[in-house]
Amino acid sequence: MPWAGLLALFFAGFLSIINETTPAGLLPQIAHSLRVTDAAAGQLITVYALATALTAVPLSAVLARWGRRTLLISALGAFVVSNFAIAATEDFTIIMIARFVGGVGAGLIWTNLAAYAARLVPEDKQGRAMSIANAGTPVALAIGLPLGTLLGNTFTWNFTFAASGFAGLAAILWVALALPNLSGTPAGEKARGAGRGLLRTKGVATILAVMSGFFLAHNILYTYVAPQVSRAGIGNQVEFVLLVFGLAALASIWVTGVLIDRRHRHLTVTGLVLLAAAFLMLGLAPISPIFVYVAAVLWGLGFGGGATWFLTAGFRATGSDAIAAVMVTLVNLMIGVGGLVGGLLIGLAGVGSLPWVALAIMIPSAIAAGVARRYAFPHWSAADSNPDH
What does the pLDDT look like over 143-192, one tens digit per residue? Answer: 787 888 888 888 889 999 999 999 999 999 999 999 999 887 544 444 44
d(CA 309, CA 326) in angstroms, rounded, equals 15
N- to C-terminal Cα separation, the chain: 31
All structural domains of the chain: 3-371 (1.20.1250.20)
Global pTM reads 0.78
What does the pLDDT look like over 5-44, one tens digit per residue? Answer: 999 999 999 998 888 888 888 888 899 999 998 888 889 9
Is the per-residue pLDDT at 195 higher than 60?
no
d(CA 389, CA 374) in angstroms, rounded, equals 5
What does the pLDDT look like over 315-360, one tens digit per residue? Answer: 888 876 667 778 878 888 898 899 889 999 998 999 999 999 999 9
CA distances (Å), origin 107, targets 13, 17, 233, 347 = 11, 11, 37, 30
Closest to 228 in 3D by CA, of 215, 242, 214, 216? 242
Per-chain mean pLDDT for the chain: 86
Helix (H) or strand (E) holding 133: helix 126-134
| The pLDDT value given to residue 165 | 95
- pLDDT grade for 194, boundaries at 50, 70 and 90: very low
Asked whether the beta carbons of 28 and 229 are under 8 A apart, the reply is: no
| The pLDDT value given to residue 382 | 42
User: Quick one: DSSP state of residue 155?
Assistant: S
The percentage of residues in the chain with a pLDDT greater than 90, rounded to a whole number, is 41
The residues near 348 (Cβ < 8 Å, ≥ 6 apart) are none
CA dihedral (91, 146, 113, 300) in degrees, to 10, reads -130
What does the pLDDT look like over 72-81, one tens digit per residue? Answer: 999 999 999 9
- β-partners of residue 379 are 388
| The pLDDT value given to residue 197 | 63
The alpha carbon of residue 119 and the mean position of all alpha carbons in its chain are separated, in whole angstroms, by 21
